[in-house]
Amino acid sequence: MDLDRPEVTAGTGEQDGVRGAGAAAGTGAGGRGRTTAVRLALIALPAAFLALFFAYPVAAITARGLYDGGRWHPERIAEVLGDPGILHVVWFTVWQAAASTVLTVALALPGAYVLARYDFPGRRALRALVTVPFVMPTVVVGSAFLGLLGRGGLTEQWWGLRLDEGPAAILLAHVFFNYAVVVRVVGSLWAQLDPRQEEAARVLGAGRWAAWRTVTLPALAPSVVAAAAMVFLFTFTSFGVVQVLGGPRYATLEVEIYRQTAQLLDLPTAAVLTLVQFAAVAALMALHARAVRRRRGAPALVDASRTARRPRGARQRALLAAVLAQIAVLIVVPLAVLVERSLSGPGGYGPDFYRDLASADATGGTFTVAPLEAIGNSLAYAAAATAIALTVGGLAAVALTLRGPGGRTGRLVRGFDALLMLPLGTSAVTVGFGFLVALDEPPLDLRSSWILVPLAQALVGTPFVVRTLLPVLRAVDDRLREAAAVLGAPPARVWREVDLPPARRALLVSAGFAFAVSLGEFGATVFIARADAPTLPVAVARLLGRAGEASYGQAMALSTILMLVCAATLLALEGVRTDRSGEL
């Protein structure tokens, strides 16, 4: 059983008659042809969007680096990969991603268990709190840990240690950023596992650890693997965190691609690194897809509301207290330090840095407009990106849930499902620079258009829309659609009357996620945001790149504002969340 696509058991009596009539009407030659035509029509717009604003820019920037003088130059690949400095970047990228993944899974599994199985006051607010870092811009996450571990941070004040510009800060920031991935992905399944199975094993003589290892862990394995794959993907392509905390000594492939394009203008090296990153991400996705296909024996699932209990006994209360303390240290302290740094001015605590954001003059020439205008820019861009992502992702999700024939069309649709996820694992820096290189001639001369920023943000938001809507649409009983069709409802009315009602909340959730991740998009936006219309993450990065206590404090203030916007979005999402609203 696919965990986000519950199986539908056959009905009896009159229900079987309706199902049989609907199936006969929908599976004949004409029905199969109509289904295929509808599928292809729905896929047309998302496919065109990906082709024009993802594949074309990435191919253009790669070709610009490897095609010269009328011919391709594959020898450049060997030249770049033979550079010891580049090999160090590749090694560090893989090492920090693997270490971040192991550390995140190990630290977040207890939190996933507590939030899935314990019922306590503030549980919903805590779920929203641990998710805030995931939708925060990576450059803001870097800013939070810079305030915690860097100059004047708590570690320097208490122990005289500066831990920024090194692997320790990067790993901790990645745990902070990805903690919610494990809690949400693993916790959503853990909450639905029947606890009576583990209890039965203990009745038969198994100890607590043996029962968990032999019963619960195998059932959780698919979600743990999925969460680990996601964490590895996000940390392998990490940019903002490493850009802020890595300093000149530590760089991931993404940071090195940015340096080679924006600072050195070495497109051949950037193109080779883009191909290396793309190949690694494609291999990871292929391995994960293979693991999902080979999965056997789905666990028994129950209503999640029936498995959560008040913690009983000293052991359970101690575990709850330990998890709360862990969340306080890993999540709350960096956020609190961000706020404290934003209020700590030369004359003591106060809103001086926030007042400076209202004037371009107070930034010392860093901006041509007041940094505070970046708030309105970000909100407008994110709203446009959300509308694009909902349109593209919604059409794709509907196409993927249509029950149709297999064969070539079925393989095409399954392949398209995988393609929709590629923007999450492809260099955002490459996409942003590719926009400037590829979209510079009519009819796609968009370099001076404001729409470039929402288009780049929508590429990141679309996968979240698809993964959020798919479980809900797949859970709709086919018999309802078939019955409506037998009664004469056209496809549009079937969708409006059968599919749309249960999908409304998932649409709100997907819109919220798309809005939040659009607010935080940095890798591509840093190339294409106009100087007179910066987004919040771009404005933060500019302030951090300027020396001086005033610029640092203004960066902390602007980061705090962005954090509050993201937190408000997450709290609103938690209010409309549905158990079938996707992996996150």
* 548 and 476 belong to one structural domain: yes
Interatomic CA distance for residues 352 and 553, integer angstroms: 9
Residue at a domain's end among 331, 349, 367: 349
Give 537 or 388, the one with higher predicted confidence.
388
- How many angstroms separate the Cα of 93 from the Cα of each of 98, 224, 255, 354, 480? 9, 22, 10, 36, 49
Same domain assignment for residues 339 and 435? no
Residues of the chain with pLDDT > 70, as a percent, come to 79
pLDDT at 579: 46
pLDDT band at 16 (very low <50, low <70, confident <90, very high): very low
Q: Which of 317, 349, 381 is the last residue of a domain?
A: 349
Domain-terminating residue out of 349, 380, 408: 349
Pick from 101-115, 143-157, 435-449 the range whose average pLDDT is largest: 101-115
59 domain-assigned = no
pLDDT tens by residue, 120-166:
888 888 887 888 888 777 777 887 887 777 666 666 666 656 666 66
Q: Where are the alpha helices (DSSP H) in 161-194?
A: 167-190
- Residue 271 pLDDT class (50, 70, 90 cuts): confident
In terms of domains, do 435 and 552 share one? yes
Assess whether 359 and 496 both reside in one domain.
yes
Residue 322, in any domain of the structure: yes
- What's the pLDDT tens digit per position in 37-60? 777 788 889 999 999 999 898 888
User: Higher-confidence residue: 582 or 523?
Assistant: 523
> Does pLDDT of 115 surpass 80?
yes
Q: Is residue 274 part of a domain?
A: no
Query: What pLDDT is stored for residue 326 in this prediction?
Result: 92
Overall number of domains in the chain:
2
Q: What pTM does this model have?
A: 0.77
Q: Where residue 578 sits, what CATH number does that domain have?
A: 1.10.3720.10
Q: Which tens digit of pLDDT belongs to each residue from 485-503? A: 777 777 677 777 777 776 7
Q: What is the pLDDT of residues 157-198, one digit of tens each?
A: 666 566 666 688 899 999 998 998 888 878 877 877 777 776
Q: What's the mean pLDDT in 497-515? A: 77
Q: What average pLDDT is seen over the chain?
A: 78
- Does residue 561 share a domain with residue 466? yes
pLDDT for position 24: 38
- What tokens does 261 get? 């394009």
Contact 211, 201 (CB under 8 A): yes
Residues 343 and 355 in one domain: no
Task: Say whether both 472 and 412 belong to one domain.
Answer: yes
CA 370, CA 464: separation in Å to the nearest integer? 32
Return the closest-CA partner of residue 25 out of 487, 510, 580.
487
Examine residue 8 and state whether it is found in any structural domain, yes or no: no
Length of the chain in terms of residues written: 584
Q: Kindly tell me if the per-residue pLDDT of 441 is higher than 90.
A: no
**219 and 355 assigned to the same domain:** no
Flag whether 453 is in a domain: yes
State which residues form the domain around 342.
Answer: 97-251+303-349
Looking at per-residue pLDDT, the higher value among 482 and 225 belongs to 225
Q: How confident is the model at residue 22, as a pLDDT?
A: 38
Q: Distance (Å, rounded) from C-alpha 77 to C-alpha 70?
A: 18
Instruction: Return the SS3 of 84.
Output: helix
Average pLDDT over residues 522-550: 83
H-assigned helices in 118-166 = 123-135, 138-149, 154-159
Give pLDDT tens digits for 25-34.
344 445 556 6
Higher-scoring residue by pLDDT: 264, 90: 90
362 within domain boundaries: yes
Residue 380's pLDDT band, with cuts at 50, 70 and 90, is very high
CA-wise closest residue to 128 among 557, 520, 516: 516
8 A C-beta contact, residue 240 and residue 522: yes
Has residue 20 been placed in a domain?
Answer: no
- Are 532 and 481 part of one and the same domain? yes
Q: In which residue are the tokens 């030659």 written? A: 29
pLDDT higher at 458 or 10: 458
State whether 219 and 367 are in the same domain.
no
The whole-number average pLDDT for the span 356-375 is: 77
Token representation of residue 290: 């293979």
C-beta separation of 241 from 142 below 8 A: yes
Q: 83 CB contacts (<8 Å, ≥6 apart)? A: none
pLDDT computed for residue 25 by the predictor: 39
Which residue's entry shows tokens 């107070």? 362
- Tell me the pLDDT band of 10, cut-offs 50, 70 and 90: very low
Same domain flag for 190 and 310: yes
Residue 1: pLDDT over 50: no
Residues 440 and 554 in one domain: yes
Cα 343 to Cα 354: distance, rounded to the nearest angstrom: 8
In a domain, 281, yes or no: no
